[in-house]
Amino acid sequence: MKTISSHFIDKPHTKLGWWSVWLGVAFVVLFLINVAVLSLITDDASWRQMILPFYGIFMLICGLAGGIVGLIATIRKHERSSLVWLAILIGLFVLFLVLNELLQLVAFLIGA
């Protein structure tokens, strides 16, 4: 009797799939550091104002790049791993965060 494993449960089979997974993991780790460590510091140190914008942009780029690479791996390389789909969800989460910020800026500029 032959057992057939599902491609959804397997690990990624392509390099693009692994790149998307590791970029998603980098986003999650940076996000947890941001929530757990950097947001709990209450002093107004000048280093926070210099580092946090770059840190936040790098964190969002990791998540968005992981989602885009995962989408490319899914479409072009037919990657069906659940980890790649999770990286795509992380990319969508980052996309919604960025769109939310842009819509709030537009609403503020309009005066609504």
Q: Is residue 8 part of a domain?
A: no
- In the DSSP assignment, the letter for residue 1 is -
Q: Which domain holds residue 77?
A: 15-38+45-110
- pLDDT for 75-109, tens place per residue? 999 888 999 999 999 999 999 999 999 999 999 99
d(CA 67, CA 92): 7
Query: In this model, does residue 6 exceed pLDDT 70?
Result: no
Cα-based distances in Å from 60 to 38, 47, 101, 111: 16, 20, 12, 27
Write the CA distances from 56 to 14, 34, 47, 83, integer angstroms: 29, 8, 14, 23
Domain count within the chain: 1
Report pLDDT for 3: 44
- pLDDT tens by residue, 27-73: 999 999 988 877 777 676 677 778 888 999 999 999 999 999 999 99
Domain-located, residue 4: no
